Amino acid sequence: MKIKFLGAAKTVTGSFYVIDTDKVRFAVDCGLFQGTRELKEKNYADFSVDPKSIEFLVLTHAHIDHSGLTPKLCKAGFTGPIYCSPPTNELCQVMFPDAGHIQESEVERKNRKLSRAGNKTLEPIYTVEDAVQCLPQLRSLNYDEVIGLAPGVEIRLRDAGHILGSSIIELWVEENGEKVKVVFSGDLGQPNQPIIKDPTIIEDADYLLMESTYGDRNHKEVSKRAEQLKKVIDDTMKRGGNLVIPSFAVERTQDLLYDLSVLQTQGQLDPSIDIYIDSPLAIAATEIFKKSTAYYDQETMEMVNSGHHPLKLPNLKYSRTQQESMELNKIQKNAIIISASGMCDAGRIKYHLKYNLWRPECTILFVGYQAVGTLGRRILEGEKCVKIHSENVAVKANIQNIDAYSAHADQNGLMSWLKNFNKELKTLFLVHGEEKSQQVLADLVRKELGLNVVIPNWLDEIELKPVEVLQPVQVISVVPEIQSETLNKALAAEELYLKIRSRLNGLYQESYNNAQYDELIEKLKKLETEL
């Protein structure tokens, strides 16, 4: 079995892995690249594998950096089923066309400028119609059921606790009578998030691909995030401005509504403050969240059963149309505007920034990860003037960040989840993270768990071999008759045995040299006999 790392390699976005077995080729995730110009240009390039050669696709969840290039894959010739959890299926039904609309709108705006300059115009990555065309290929799989998808290939989806419907993928591949288990973490959630359940514990795998978005840091004061939100709201309203929150349409928006609902129920939020969701996608996602009670955690279900649904607020208003969105630009104060995209790279949020970012009385609150190169990242890192729709806009608003809203597990969360594996992993592949974060996490994992860790490069292709697992000899007791010299030889042989076992694992990272691998296997077998 071989795996190609075609996205989310030393970067946070563009998740895409192609797996080749002796019988079938399939893929896990097909996400949009976000961030720097160099990364975004990859969205326009041809796929490095023929989409027609892929027999099926499995999506970990609906976030656009894991699913957003799927319509392009279908447009380029992929006709197979797209497997995912039921909520992911529902969310993709609205997210794919929305992404197509955003791309059409962005390209239309850019083309007006290009045409005036006499330059060649652009084509959108895919259109709304392209997105709609691929929707019938979506297929729902329930959590916790082992399903055979092709000869020698079985999978099981487990709740990743990241967003509604997010999945960890357990994959079993059988080749030549030997079975290998690979686990794709997808995006792992932070424990004790509202609405959704905690990530499922996985206890065994031969190989693990684990996200590492927050591999170098921990979230601050997660339990106090509603308190932090209240402080930002109070400060902004006292200054007489608006609170603008760039937010991911799926999960982050609903988390904000949850906390706003709790604050209002407790009498800590002025009901005269108007709360707007200005994103057709966020509105549609919220409606899906409202009815998906089967996936709620116990605390949220208790709230619902008591008659208080945390996603329903009396002062919540939806801005569905473009005209309704434009009307928000006239509001000068006493409003909370939640709009997408979460990284400020596209969508309606750019207009709200254009009308509020230069006003000192306003606040821009970031509640999610901002990839390198995005408008959100540049504002958060302190740029004093940014360009929005070809216009320079001064950054004079109060810029705030509450990283406790992240739906990603932090370093402690990742390590805690990883420590549940009771079978020694042959290799841990760190994906979906910036290189600095990955290196910090890799060093920590090697130090604390002694695992072989690989940080793949984009376009790397790695063979995942079944490795014969031989239990090392453990000296439980030594009878007095054994001479010390004999015992020392035995212990030395055992030490060498363990070193070779470790070296076998390391081969995947250092050389992938089959001859060297086979030679070590023979030495290992000989040592086992001697021991």
DSSP conformation letters of 146-175: -EEEETTEEEEEEE-SSSTT-EEEEEEEEE
Please tell me whether residue 410 adopts helix, strand or coil conformation: strand
CB 183 within 8 A of CB 175: no
Give the CATH number of the domain where residue 372 resides.
Answer: 3.40.50.10890
Residues in the chain: 531
Give the CATH number of the domain where residue 118 resides.
Answer: 3.60.15.10
From the centroid of its chain, how far is CA 142? 20
pLDDT tens by residue, 240-279 = 999 999 998 999 999 999 999 999 999 999 999 999 999 9
Q: What is the DSSP letter of 395?
A: -
- The verdict on 299 and 354 lying in the same domain is yes
User: Is residue 364 a part of any domain in this protein?
Assistant: yes
Domain edge (last residue) among 365, 388, 405 = 405
Number of CB atoms found within 10 A of residue 63's CB: 28
User: Is residue 114 a part of any domain in this protein?
Assistant: yes
User: Is residue 474 a part of any domain in this protein?
Assistant: no
- The verdict on 207 and 286 lying in the same domain is no
Residue the block writes with tokens 């990242």: 377
Exposed e or buried b for every residue in 78-107, given b needs 16+ CB within 10 A?
Answer: bebbbbbbbbbbbbbbbbbbbbbbbbbebb
DSSP conformation letters of 438-450: HHHHHHHHHHHH-
Please tell me whether residue 80 adopts helix, strand or coil conformation: coil
The pLDDT assigned to 509 comes to: 37
- The verdict on 255 and 362 lying in the same domain is yes
- The verdict on 19 and 106 lying in the same domain is yes
The rounded percent of the chain whose pLDDT value lies above 90 is 75
| Dihedral-angle region of residue 373 (phi above 0 means left; psi in -120 to 50 means alpha; beta otherwise) | left
- The verdict on 492 and 433 lying in the same domain is no
The pLDDT assigned to 490 comes to: 52
* Distance (Å) of CA 507 to CA 380, 454, 501, 520: 41, 11, 10, 10
Residues lower than pLDDT 70 in the chain: 467-531
- The verdict on 205 and 262 lying in the same domain is no
User: Is residue 156 a part of any domain in this protein?
Assistant: yes
Token pair of 403 as six digits: 């990283």
User: Is residue 413 a part of any domain in this protein?
Assistant: yes
The pLDDT assigned to 476 comes to: 31
Contacts 24+ apart (CB under 8 A), 383-388: 386/357, 388/350, 388/353, 388/354, 388/357
- The verdict on 385 and 427 lying in the same domain is no
- The verdict on 44 and 71 lying in the same domain is yes
User: Is residue 476 a part of any domain in this protein?
Assistant: no
- The verdict on 352 and 379 lying in the same domain is yes
CB 431 within 8 A of CB 456: yes
Q: Minimal CA–CA distance to 425: which of 460, 454, 459?
A: 454
- The verdict on 176 and 276 lying in the same domain is no
Exposed e or buried b for every residue in 445-471, given b needs 16+ CB within 10 A?
Answer: beeeeebbbbbbebeeebebbbbeebe
How many structural domains does the chain have? 3
* d(C-alpha 480, C-alpha 272), whole Å: 84
**Torsion sign (Cα): 126, 90, 199, 290:** positive
User: Is residue 508 a part of any domain in this protein?
Assistant: yes
Domain edge (last residue) among 405, 421, 444 = 405
The pLDDT assigned to 346 comes to: 84
- The verdict on 294 and 412 lying in the same domain is no
pLDDT tens by residue, 282-292 = 999 999 999 99
* d(C-alpha 339, C-alpha 355), whole Å: 13
* d(C-alpha 170, C-alpha 147), whole Å: 10
* Distance (Å) of CA 336 to CA 68, 89, 104, 353, 405: 28, 30, 28, 13, 17
- The residues, ordered by sequence, that sit 6+ positions from 522 with a Cβ below 8 Å of its Cβ are none
User: Is residue 475 a part of any domain in this protein?
Assistant: no
Domain edge (last residue) among 379, 405, 431 = 405
DSSP conformation letters of 278-339: E-HHHHHHHHHHHH-GGGB-HHHHHHHHTT--TT--TTEEE--SHHHHHHHTT--SSEEEEE
Supply the range of the domain harboring residue 380: 222-405
- The verdict on 325 and 176 lying in the same domain is no
